[in-house]
Amino acid sequence: MSLTRRTFLHRGGILTAALALPQGVHFPQPPKPQRPAPKFRTTLDSSSLARFVDPLPIPAVAQPVDHHPSPANPSIKLPYYRVAMRQIESKVHRDMKPTRLWAYGSSSPGPTFDTRSSQGILVEWANELPTQHFLPIDHSIHGAESDKPDVRTVVHLHGAKAPADSDGYPDNWYVPGKSALYHYPNQQDAAMLWYHDHALGINRLNVFAGLLGAFFVRDEVEDALNLPGGKYEIPLIFYDRVFDLEGQLNYPVSGDPKSPWLPEVFGDALLVNGKLFPYLDVEPRQYRFRVLNGANGRFFHLSLSNRQTFHQIGTDQGLLPAPVELKRVILAPAERADLIIDFSASAGEQIIVRNDSFDVMQFRVATKKNRSQGNPARDASTLPAVLRPVPKIPESAAVNTRMLTLVEVDDLVQRPVTMLLNNAHWKMPVTENPVLDSTEIWSLINTTDDSHPIHLHLVRFQILDRRSFDVSNYWATGKLKFFGPPIPPDPAEAGWKDTVRADPGMVTRIIIRFEGYPGRYVWHCHILEHEDNEMMRPYDVIAKP
Ligand code: C2O
Ligand code: CU
């Protein structure tokens, strides 16, 4: 952090404390931390490990175990899945000892759901974890006080248009031995969704422990495009972790045993589908990669070592209007990119996927006739010039515009103590209450020095623009003084989104139609350390009067 940033944010903090929160920024002291304080452990230097010695794991596809009546219409039976959360051991790298993880099913990432639009499913999410957490809980964080059970989970299907009681509200956690039955109607376009833990106050730890997985919705529009499928369509879930010398997860902590929370957690170990430096054997043809940034806080900037271009055909909530040619894809936590990479000109080559300048994984492109694989099948897949129309929602459709600030609150020595949305804490009354089927514009006024990926549950939205503003002037007067013209979203963001980068010193405007179901949902920053420490708010979708 630069000096400017500290000074700057501190000013924000004072204003927040003095004006916007009359009760002051107040953190209850933990009553009596009985548990041993989290300790610093020596970190494994992942760059010392051999590269590309493990094949890329591809999570198994989840299979229904039965059919059960639909909660919406008991005369219809829906595929019923059961997924248990369990503690497992997994080899993250050939030369590391097995790592203790928490998994959905028997792998982390958990099984991939492959579902059809409009074909609802039921999932019983069973908590079969141990009763002790193995990562450092901060009992001074709201919702994680010492009187709460250590191990609590609740599953959110990110990007799903799901009824509120199946959405994984952060307070609806349950303990080992309990489960929840969720209904996903899948009344939405083809897209890559993902499921992950969402328990209040320890979400960052549960996801870091391994509780995440991919979920595809497919439909006829996508089918008709003849995109690479089957073994030529591969999920790539990227995230970073820190390991200790025993190969165990080492979640970083502050120096204060009473509040181990850190505002940002970055690991040096970059994993893909749960492996460090994996390789993937590919044929010299087109592939479709469904890419997710599943990290707690790291932004990924991915490119290929041979500098070849590739095409992005979809974003968080499905297909783009047309492919976008790229050399680098940027993904904030929770964002997805649907990519087509053509290896047909690279037979016999080895191509490395890099995050900035760091190696992450390797593609080994077969020669045209590779004996071990037989003759690769002819590539009949296409890259259509037109994908799926994404009609622009006109600004005039919005019945309401909400001005929502993103704020970092610092303590007297200018360390961040919490992050807030619109100066409000999680527990404060709901302030965002759109009417079902109405359209609103949300202006995310980012007064901090960080980019925050903002996610709304239930809905999809479009990015209108981003515009730089004078933050000091805003703190002094409450008025927005812009520095330049509004900047339209990148072509790769110009589709349906559910998570948007709210960049520092910018007002990011999104337009949202609140379709689906009435009820209580949440919106939050998807940097999980921020989300856990108050950068999350409930919102209500109000049934039409
Ligand atoms: Cu990816 Cu509230 O979640
Ligand atoms: Cu944030």
For 101-117, letters b (16+ CB in 10 Å) and e give bbbbbebbbbbbbebbb
Determine the pLDDT at residue 101.
Answer: 98
Helix, strand, coil percentages, rounded to 5, for the chain: 10, 40, 50
**Token output for 171:** 């307070």
Q: What is the DSSP string of 191-219?
A: EEEEEEE--TTTHHHHHHTT-EEEEEEE-
Specify the residue with its C-alpha closest to ligand 1, atom 3. Answer: 158
> How far apart are alpha carbons 206 and 110 in whole angstroms?
13
**What is the average pLDDT across 384-407?**
97
Q: How confident is the model at residue 377 (pLDDT cuts 50, 70, 90)?
A: low
Determine the pLDDT at residue 255.
Answer: 85
Determine the pLDDT at residue 28.
Answer: 41
Q: How confident is the model at residue 170 (pLDDT cuts 50, 70, 90)?
A: very high
Q: How confident is the model at residue 381 (pLDDT cuts 50, 70, 90)?
A: confident
Ligand nearest to the CA of 456: 1
- The rounded percent of the chain whose pLDDT value lies above 90 is 86
- 16, 36, 259, 358, 466 from 12: Cα distances, Å: 6, 35, 22, 35, 21
**What is the average pLDDT across 153-168?**
98
Other CB atoms within 10 A of residue 98 CB = 13
Pairing of strands 400-410, 350-355: unpaired
Q: How confident is the model at residue 545 (pLDDT cuts 50, 70, 90)?
A: confident
Cα 452 to averaged position of ligand 2 atoms, centre (Å): 4
Sign of CA pseudo-dihedral 15, 16, 22, 25: negative
Cα 416 to averaged position of ligand 2 atoms, centre (Å): 12
Determine the pLDDT at residue 320.
Answer: 98
> How far apart are alpha carbons 319 and 65 in whole angstroms?
30
**What is the average pLDDT across 450-466?**
98
Is 493 exposed, middle or buried, given 0-12, 13-18 or 19+ CB atoms closer than 10 A? buried
**Which of 503, 412, 487, 399 minimizes the C-alpha distance to 449?**
503
Residue labelled with tokens 């990148």? 490
Q: How confident is the model at residue 374 (pLDDT cuts 50, 70, 90)?
A: low
> How far apart are alpha carbons 311 and 329 in whole angstroms?
10
Determine the pLDDT at residue 411.
Answer: 82
Residue labelled with tokens 């893909």? 272
- Classified as helix, coil or strand, 471 is helix
Residue labelled with tokens 């031995």? 177
Q: Examine the pLDDT at 227 and tell me if it is beyond 60.
A: yes
**What is the average pLDDT across 409-435?**
89
- 112, 316, 490 from 159: Cα distances, Å: 15, 8, 20
> How far apart are alpha carbons 212 and 109 in whole angstroms?
5
Cα 451 to averaged position of ligand 2 atoms, centre (Å): 7
Q: How confident is the model at residue 368 (pLDDT cuts 50, 70, 90)?
A: confident
- 347, 367, 369 from 375: Cα distances, Å: 13, 10, 6
Determine the pLDDT at residue 215.
Answer: 98
Specify the residue with its C-alpha closest to ligand 1, atom 1. Answer: 158
Amino acid at 145: E
Pocket lining: 156 vs ligand 1, CB cutoff 6 Å:
yes
Cα 278 to averaged position of ligand 2 atoms, centre (Å): 30
Pocket lining: 537 vs ligand 1, CB cutoff 6 Å:
no
Cα 379 to averaged position of ligand 2 atoms, centre (Å): 42
**Which of 237, 325, 339 minimizes the C-alpha distance to 288?**
339
Is 468 exposed, middle or buried, given 0-12, 13-18 or 19+ CB atoms closer than 10 A? middle
Q: Examine the pLDDT at 221 and tell me if it is beyond 80.
A: yes
Ligand nearest to the CA of 299: 2
Determine the pLDDT at residue 380.
Answer: 77
Q: Examine the pLDDT at 75 and tell me if it is beyond 50.
A: yes
**What is the average pLDDT across 350-361?**
97
Average pLDDT, the chain: 91
Strand order in the sheet with 452-456: 499-502, 452-456, 519-525, 536-541
Pocket lining: 524 vs ligand 1, CB cutoff 6 Å:
yes
**In contact, 276 and 93? CB cutoff 8 Å:** yes
Q: How confident is the model at residue 13 (pLDDT cuts 50, 70, 90)?
A: very low
Q: What is the DSSP string of 10-23?
A: HHHHHHIIIII-TT
**What is the average pLDDT across 63-87?**
96
Atom number of ligand 1 nearest to Cα 536: 2
Pocket lining: 198 vs ligand 1, CB cutoff 6 Å:
yes
Atom number of ligand 1 nearest to Cα 170: 2
Phi, psi at residue 12, to the nearest 5°?
-55, -45
- 105, 274, 399 from 210: Cα distances, Å: 11, 9, 41
Residues within 5 Å of ion ligand 2, judged at the Cβ atom:
452, 525, 527, 530
Pocket lining: 501 vs ligand 1, CB cutoff 6 Å:
no
Q: What is the DSSP string of 233-283?
A: EEEEEEEEE-BBTTS-B-----S-TT----S----SEEEETTEESEEEEE-
Cα 490 to averaged position of ligand 1 atoms, centre (Å): 23
- The rounded percent of the chain whose pLDDT value lies above 70 is 91
Atom number of ligand 1 nearest to Cα 457: 2
Q: Examine the pLDDT at 190 and tell me if it is beyond 90.
A: yes
Phi, psi at residue 397, to the nearest 5°?
-75, -15
> How far apart are alpha carbons 366 and 206 in whole angstroms?
38
Q: Examine the pLDDT at 11 and tell me if it is beyond 50.
A: no
Q: Examine the pLDDT at 409 and tell me if it is beyond 80.
A: yes
- Classified as helix, coil or strand, 67 is strand
Q: Is the pTM of this model over 0.85?
A: yes
Q: How confident is the model at residue 86 (pLDDT cuts 50, 70, 90)?
A: very high
Pairing of strands 310-315, 99-104: unpaired
DSSP 487: B
Other CB atoms within 10 A of residue 521 CB = 24
Determine the pLDDT at residue 39.
Answer: 63
Cα 428 to averaged position of ligand 1 atoms, centre (Å): 20
**What is the average pLDDT across 87-91?**
98
Pocket lining: 158 vs ligand 1, CB cutoff 6 Å:
yes
Amino acid at 155: V
Phi, psi at residue 231, to the nearest 5°?
-75, -5
Biggest CA-to-CA distance, the chain:
73
